[in-house]
Amino acid sequence: PRPPVRRPCRVMILVNPLSGRGQALQLFTGHLQGMLTEAAIPYTLVITEHQNHARELVKKADLSQWDALVIMSGDGLLFEVINGLMERDDWQEAIQTPLGILPGGSGNALAASVHHYSQSPPAWNEELLLSCGFMLCKGLVGSLDLVSIHLASKQRIFSFLSLAWGFVADVDIESEKYRHVGAIRFLMGTLVRLATLRVYQGRLAYLPLIPNSSPTHKPHPPPDSLLPGLDQPVPESWTVVKTEDFVLVLAIYQSHLAEDLWAVPGAAADDGIIHLFYVTGGISRPALLRLFLAMEKGAHLACGCPHLVYEKVRALRLEPISRQGVITVDGETVEYGPVQAQIHPGLARLIYG
Amino acid sequence: MGTTASQLGKDLLSEYQELTFLTKQEILLAHKRFTELLTKDEKDLPNVRVPMEKILTLPELKSNPFRTRICQVFSTSIVKDGSLTFEDFLDLLSAFSDSATLEIKSHYAFRIFDFDDDGTLDCGDLEKLVNCLTGETEDTRLTPEEMRQLIHNILDESDIDKDGTVNLSEFQHVISRSPDFVSSFKIVL
């Protein structure tokens, strides 16, 4: 049984008014406000004014005032909050603050994952929002894996969703705008991406998860014990992928990449696993399309595509050789260059269940 | 003004370098590869026009699903047969080079997808584009209903002035949101 959020529960709700094509605030007042009032949850609404506003606020906040920090926006705002908490001197206590997520527009992968973990059938838009609102009111808290990511510039960031390189399908489609049909996944951006499909050169290595070992859930504080410096070779216990031609590399630690992209059947918020997928060069455009179409139902692994590889890992390193390309963390572009990552099981706390 | 296969003069080389996004090295390599496509007799002639079938034997184009459109767009042939002179070939490589700008690349991507060459992307163009990508087999080809829905979604997303087609600036606006477009829209010898 999970310990619930303390009652009465004072909640700070951070809203990005530009999220969801400017609808986030309306969605809040229209659907959530009533729910929270009925559940007698005192809350304070904070409207973010610019990028990094949330990050700075959370870095300086007196966290003893709050029982939970709730983000009503896309995944980008949660990224700011998590990194703001980890940048504090008292990060060890700060990261224990329960976090809540309400889908506020585009890029709601965590909300979709959390909804999925509650074993409900897939939901979008308002239904997803109400489901997450309901979970917030129930106030059950679980643990959340975080992945620390080292960039070439020696910067370290904390990620809760994914690290991706290469062909990235449009994961931030505003699905409330389009009637949901199998082919919805393709808008102009995806078609153009498919049309200009290219192969990226790079080296990939990872530390496999040892089967039958349960990952330890004691909060692993940074430093990252599994990672040598980026300029050093990877440890011998790591597996080095033989191919150096990739269409995409995706490391994901939640079940969903988007509301309609169920990437990891069987994932949990705190399974302590980085689910590593890569697609090798040589795959045809129709075959790649087939994978993304199948991913809506989590059926991509059953496609039997020889170019798709899936491994469960605890740490990884990616060194792009192609001079140009894009690397994203939690959906946002980061500096392009060698990166490595390690999972910290259960480092944060999330309201779900 | 043209060039014979045997020699690419220094002045011409500099001129080409100024007029395109290509480096001198890339231009020389292009010259070498283009010359390999010529017959023995053609090698002494200026301004030779190479037929599309021969251009399409280049490994860099052979498996590109838009290879025919690419040749047609860059061809200056009056009869619109996709044949390329060396300068047409350089224009092609320039647009697809490492240094070409987002504006140039998105301009040419638009022209390549404009299958009927009428200056806008309408339902017919979009349908052809999708079919190029979904392949011939049953399990990825879209049903007529899916195609209808998809084209509706695309127009909804991209057609800002709601005239039922996507024009160049609307297309460029959508493309500007893809951070990887410039690095993916590439053909390098």
Residue A153, number of CB atoms within 10 A of its CB: 10
- Does A320 lie in the same domain as A275? yes
Question: Which residue has better confidence, B142 or A242?
Answer: A242
Q: What is the mean pLDDT of residues A20-32?
A: 84
B64 CB within 8 Å of a chain A CB: no
Catalytic-residue membership of A75: yes
**Cα first-last separation, chain B:** 24
User: Any residues with CB less than 8 A from the CB of A223 and at least 6 apart, and which?
Assistant: none
- Identify the CATH number of the domain in which residue A194 sits: 2.60.200.40
Pick from B133, B136, B177: CB nearest A289: B133
For chain B positions 20-59, those within 8 Å of chain A (CB to CB) are none
For the cut 80, the answer to whether the pLDDT of residue A305 exceeds it is yes
Instruction: Give residue A219's pLDDT band: very low, low, confident or very high (50, 70, 90).
Output: very low
**Inter-chain contact B133–A293, Cβ cutoff 8 Å?**
no
Neighboring chain B residues of A194 at a CB cutoff of 8 Å: 133
CATH classification code of B102-185: 1.10.238.10
- Does A307 lie in the same domain as A197? yes
Give the residue from chain B lying closest to A247, CA to CA: B184
**Inter-chain contact B180–A326, Cβ cutoff 8 Å?**
yes
In a domain, A5, yes or no: no
Pick from A177, A189, A293: CB nearest B178: A189
For the cut 90, the answer to whether the pLDDT of residue A325 exceeds it is no
Interface-testing mutation among A174, A184, A188, with chain B (most B C-beta atoms within 10 A): A188
Which residue type does A162 have?
Answer: S
B153 CB within 8 Å of a chain A CB: yes
Tokens of A190: 């995806």
Cite the residue boundaries of each domain of chain B with CATH code 1.10.238.10. Answer: 11-96, 102-185
Tokens of B127: 């349908």
- Does A67 lie in the same domain as A156? no
Question: Which residue has better confidence, A129 or B1?
Answer: A129
In a domain, A74, yes or no: yes
Q: How many helices (H) and strands (E) does chain A have?
A: 10, 17
In a domain, A138, yes or no: yes
Q: What percentage of chain B has pLDDT greater than the value 90?
A: 61
A84–chain B nearest CA distance, Å: 26
Give the residue from chain A lying closest to B130, CA to CA: A191
B113 CB within 8 Å of a chain A CB: yes
**Inter-chain contact B153–A187, Cβ cutoff 8 Å?**
yes
- Does A111 lie in the same domain as A206? no
Arithmetic mean of pLDDT over chain B? 90
- Does A236 lie in the same domain as A127? no
**Inter-chain contact A193–B181, Cβ cutoff 8 Å?**
yes
Residue length, chain A? 353
For the cut 70, the answer to whether the pLDDT of residue A3 exceeds it is no
In a domain, A3, yes or no: no
- Identify the CATH number of the domain in which residue A52 sits: 3.40.50.10330
What is the model's pLDDT at position A76?
86
- Does A192 lie in the same domain as A117? no
Residue B145 CA to residue A279 CA, distance in Å, equals: 30
Tokens of A111: 């909300």
In a domain, A181, yes or no: yes
A253-284 tens-digit pLDDT: 999 988 888 999 999 999 999 999 999 999 98
Beta strands in A195-301 (DSSP E): 200-208, 239-240, 245-252, 256-258, 261-262, 274-280
For the cut 60, the answer to whether the pLDDT of residue A191 exceeds it is yes
Buried b (16+ CB within 10 A) or exposed e, A323-338: eebbbbbbbeebebeb
B130 CB within 8 Å of a chain A CB: yes
Tokens of A313: 């890992």
- Does A55 lie in the same domain as A182? no
Domain of A28?
A: 11-145
Q: What percentage of chain A has pLDDT greater than the value 70?
A: 88
B149 CB within 8 Å of a chain A CB: yes
Residue A206: burial class (beta carbons within 10 Å; 0-12, 13-18, 19+): buried
What is the model's pLDDT at position A187?
78
For the cut 50, the answer to whether the pLDDT of residue A179 exceeds it is no
Neighboring chain B residues of A168 at a CB cutoff of 8 Å: 180
Pick from A186, A197, A287: CB nearest B150: A186
Q: Which residue of the set A62, A67, A75, A260 is catalytic?
A: A75
- Does A81 lie in the same domain as A29? yes
Instruction: Give residue A197's pLDDT band: very low, low, confident or very high (50, 70, 90).
Output: confident
For the cut 80, the answer to whether the pLDDT of residue A1 exceeds it is no
- Does A205 lie in the same domain as A180? yes
Interface-testing mutation among B64, B97, B180, with chain A (most A C-beta atoms within 10 A): B180
Q: What is the mean pLDDT of residues A223-241?
A: 91
What's the CA angle centered on A319, arms A315 and A324, to 5 degrees?
A: 135
What is the model's pLDDT at position A168?
72
Arithmetic mean of pLDDT over chain A? 87
- Does A161 lie in the same domain as A24? no
- Does A61 lie in the same domain as A193? no
Neighboring chain A residues of B178 at a CB cutoff of 8 Å: 189, 192-193
DSSP 8-state assignment for residue A231: T
Give the residue from chain A lying closest to B132, CA to CA: A195
Residue A256 phi, psi (nearest 5)? -115, 140
In a domain, A351, yes or no: no
What is the model's pLDDT at position A178?
52
Tell me which of A113, A130, A145 is where a domain ends.
Answer: A145
**What SS3 state is found at A333?**
strand
Interface-testing mutation among B107, B146, B153, B186, with chain A (most A C-beta atoms within 10 A): B153
In a domain, A176, yes or no: yes
Pick from B135, B153, B178: CB nearest A193: B178
Ramachandran category for residue A290: left, alpha or beta (phi over 0 → left; psi -120 to 50 → alpha) = alpha
- Does A126 lie in the same domain as A19? yes
Neighboring chain B residues of A300 at a CB cutoff of 8 Å: none
Tokens of A147: 């992945």
In a domain, A279, yes or no: yes
A120 CB within 8 Å of a chain B CB: no
What is the model's pLDDT at position A6?
66
Pick from B129, B139, B179: CB nearest A326: B179
DSSP chain B: ----SS---HHHHHHHHHHSS--HHHHHHHHHHHHTTS-TTGGGSSS--B-HHHHTTSHHHHT-TTHHHHHHHH---TT----B-HHHHHHHHHHTSTT--HHHHHHHHHHHH-TT-SSSB-HHHHHHHHHHHH-SSTTTSPPHHHHHHHHHHHHHHH-TT-SSSB-HHHHHHHHTT-TTHHHHS----
B21-54 tens-digit pLDDT: 999 999 999 999 999 999 988 888 888 999 999 9
Tell me which of A122, A145, A168 is where a domain ends.
Answer: A145
Please state which of the ranges A48-62, A175-189, B59-73 shows the lowest mean pLDDT: A175-189
What is the model's pLDDT at position A7?
64
Tokens of B176: 């500007």
Tell me which of A145, A170, A203 is where a domain ends.
Answer: A145
A103-144 tens-digit pLDDT: 886 678 899 999 999 888 888 778 888 889 999 888 899 999
Total domain count for chain A?
2
Cut 0.95: pTM above it: no
A208–chain B nearest CA distance, Å: 30
Q: What is the mean pLDDT of residues A163-173?
A: 75
Provide ipTM, 2 decimals: 0.83
**Inter-chain contact B183–A195, Cβ cutoff 8 Å?**
no
In CATH terms, the fold of domain B11-96 is Recoverin; domain 1 (1.10.238)
